[in-house]
């Protein structure tokens, strides 16, 4: 978030209008203007009480320099809750991917399988004995049928016991596992968002520059969206000057100019970066040839060496040779 630092527009326009007539009669024409800066506002994303302030007005800061800290008790609680949710979701997923029954339950099923296998062996022996007796005309057909039925029943019981062991070792259905995986992703994303909110309670400088204004002090409650400090980066200082309508064709985007000021050792080279599409001053009469000279257009130029000018400083601009 940026804010412009500039003097009153009306005063500058009046001065520009008066000086335009006085300068430029001999040699290269000169144009009046001022330096303007755009500050960067830094504040918390959410309301909170300011607990620490690491800078003061006029301090120079670099990228990443600590600026201030806002109370983060609620955000820390959100992180703790999100971490617990991630652990719970991961545990449910692991449970679904594991076997449907515990190892102890699988051991019980295997014991039932052994019992069923023993019953099958006994039924097989009995069936063979009844067949031999029937062939020797000693046993009855009813005894043979009972032995056959008992054998078939025990074989079926053995198959059932073995199938129970297989089913007990299988995980849950793919649809349940997929839903649990999505739950883990949601919990992880919530945790990441909570960590970002926590990190933003302690803000650092996003750009190099000077601290222009401190709006809150430790102990004060900072509303949501309000800045705590403002930073003026050197590369956001520009020259704003005014050109009369007859002189406007001299300028285009990229035109080289020189800016001078009171106390400047050397002229500051700059490049035109903006030309207003509308006049700053319109007389309340029809545009006659004499009145056209009163029309001035605002131009902006970026200095080649940021930081050589200060916001609000009056400057005189001329075309570079």
Cα torsion through 40, 308, 212, 59, rounded to 10: 110
Write out the H or E segment, with its range, that includes residue 215. none
| 291: three-class secondary structure by DSSP | helix
Q: Quick one: pLDDT at residue 112?
A: 80
Q: Within 10 Å of residue 132's Cβ, how many Cβ atoms? A: 12
| 179: three-class secondary structure by DSSP | helix
Domain borders along the chain are: 2-45+225-319, 99-170
Measured in degrees and rounded to the nearest 5, phi and psi for residue 7 equal: -75, 180
Q: Quick one: pLDDT at residue 48?
A: 92
Measured in degrees and rounded to the nearest 5, phi and psi for residue 260 equal: -125, 155
The per-residue pLDDT of the chain, averaged, comes to 82
DSSP 236: G
Task: Please state, in angstroms and as integers, the Cα–Cα distance from residue 71 to each residue in 52, 54, 65, 201, 215, following that order.
Answer: 9, 15, 19, 7, 17
- Give the mean pLDDT of 269-286: 75
DSSP 293: G
Residue 15 pLDDT greater than 50, yes or no: no
Q: What is the pLDDT of residues 98-116, one digit of tens each?
A: 655 566 667 777 788 788 8
Q: What is the 3-state secondary structure (H, E, C) of 20-87?
A: HHHCCCCCCCEEEEEEEEEEEEECCCCCEEEEEECCCCCCEECCCCEEEEECCHHHHHHHHHHHHHHH
Write out the H or E segment, with its range, that includes residue 296. strand 296-303
- Do 291 and 246 form a contact (C-beta atoms < 8 A)? no
| 257: three-class secondary structure by DSSP | strand
From CA 227, how far away is CA 45, in angstroms rounded? 9
Structure tokens at 254: 């990229």
- Do 180 and 93 form a contact (C-beta atoms < 8 A)? yes
Q: How confident is the model at residue 1 (pLDDT cuts 50, 70, 90)?
A: low
From CA 53, how far away is CA 67, in angstroms rounded? 6
Burial bucket for residue 166 (CB in 10 Å: 0-12, 13-18, 19+): exposed
- Residue, of 126 and 169, whose pLDDT is higher: 126
Structure tokens at 231: 């930073």
Q: How confident is the model at residue 169 (pLDDT cuts 50, 70, 90)?
A: low
Q: What is the pLDDT of residues 219-228, one digit of tens each?
A: 999 998 899 9
Residue 240 pLDDT greater than 80, yes or no: yes
- Do 195 and 45 form a contact (C-beta atoms < 8 A)? no
Report the share of the chain in percent with pLDDT over 70: 82
- Do 306 and 237 form a contact (C-beta atoms < 8 A)? yes
User: Which stretches of the chain are DSSP H helices?
Assistant: 9-22, 73-97, 103-135, 141-169, 174-199
| CATH for 99-170 (1.20.1630, 1.10.287, 1.10.10, 3.90.1140) | 1.10.287
Q: Quick one: pLDDT at residue 271?
A: 93
CATH architecture of the region 2-45+225-319: Beta Barrel (2.40)
């Amino acid at each position: 978030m940026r804010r412009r630092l500039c003097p009153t527009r009306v005063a500058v326009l009046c001065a520009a209008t008066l000086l335009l007539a006085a300068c430029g009669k001999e040699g290269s024409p000169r144009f009046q203007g001022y330096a303007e800066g755009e500050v960067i506002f830094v504040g918390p994303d959410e309301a909170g009480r300011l607990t620490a302030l690491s800078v003061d007005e006029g301090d120079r800061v670099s990228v990443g320099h600590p600026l201030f800290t806002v109370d983060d008790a609620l955000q820390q609680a959100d992180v703790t809750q999100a971490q617990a949710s991630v652990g719970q979701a991961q545990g449910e997923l692991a449970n679904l991917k594991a076997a449907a029954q515990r190892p102890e339950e699988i051991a019980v099923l295997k014991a039932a399988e052994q019992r069923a296998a023993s019953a099958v062996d006994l039924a097989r022996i009995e069936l063979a004995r009844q067949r031999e007796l029937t062939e020797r005309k000693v046993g009855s057909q009813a005894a043979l049928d009972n032995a056959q039925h008992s054998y078939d029943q025990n074989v079926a019981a053995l198959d059932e016991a073995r199938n129970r062991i297989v089913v007990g070792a299988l995980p849950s259905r793919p649809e349940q596992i997929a839903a649990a995986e999505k739950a883990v992703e949601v919990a992880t994303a919530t945790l990441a968002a909570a960590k970002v909110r926590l990190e933003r309670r302690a803000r650092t400088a996003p750009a190099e520059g000077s601290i222009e204004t401190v709006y809150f002090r430790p102990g004060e409650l900072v509303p949501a969206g309000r800045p705590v400090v403002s930073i003026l980066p050197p590369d956001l200082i520009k020259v704003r000057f005014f050109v009369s309508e007859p002189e406007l064709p001299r300028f285009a985007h990229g035109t080289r100019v020189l800016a001078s000021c009171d106390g400047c050792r050397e002229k500051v080279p700059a490049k035109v970066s903006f030309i207003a599409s509308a006049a700053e001053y319109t007389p309340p009469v029809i545009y006659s040839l004499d009145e056209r000279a009163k029309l001035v257009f605002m131009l902006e130029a970026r200095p080649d060496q940021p930081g050589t000018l200060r916001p609000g400083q009056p400057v005189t601009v001329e075309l570079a040779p």
